[in-house]
Amino acid sequence: MITGVHHVSMKCGTEDEFRKAKEFYLGTLGFRVKREWPDGIMIDTGNCMLEIFSNGPGIKAKGAIRHIAFGTDDVDGLVRKVKRAGYRVFIEPNDLVIRSEPELPARMAFCFGPLGEEIEFFQEKE
């Protein structure tokens, strides 16, 4: 029986990328370390973990998984933090309504993370 998503894994190509990833996810976004080992870290995001390795080539090609979406109650505040940390926001905060049944009003924004990963900040507005 599947109980949920345990973690999403990323790999850094250099120690500098690893340091920047830790600074971004721990410092800028405020997540906490769950566990750490010499060439990796698991970061608790609240309902899933990010596993980041520093031990090999981080291949940067977009595949079937398009982005990581973090739920939040303050899209605009996170975008300000990301910009202050020097990261590019490529979709500014905006409101939308997902035409589902029932409809889902939301606020969202997208940025690039330290490894080139696409990150969405998503706030349900029900």
What is the per-residue pLDDT across 96-125, written as a single tens digit (0 to 9) for each?
Answer: 999 988 999 999 999 999 999 999 999 999
| Residue 58 confidence (pLDDT) | 62
| Residue 101 confidence (pLDDT) | 85
- Residue span(s) of the chain under CATH 3.10.180.10 come to 1-57, 66-126
Nearest to 39 by CA among 64, 26, 56: 56
Q: Given a cut of 90, is residue 14 above it in pLDDT? A: no
Q: 66-126 sits in which CATH class?
A: alpha beta
85: CB partners within 8 A, 6+ apart = 23, 24, 27, 28
Residues forming beta bridges with residue 37, ordered by sequence position: 40
Percent over 70 (pLDDT), the chain: 93
Nearest to 124 by CA among 65, 47, 69, 52: 69
Mean pLDDT, rounded, for 40-47: 94
CATH for the stretch 1-57:
3.10.180.10
Residue 25: which pLDDT band, with cuts at 50, 70 and 90?
Answer: very high
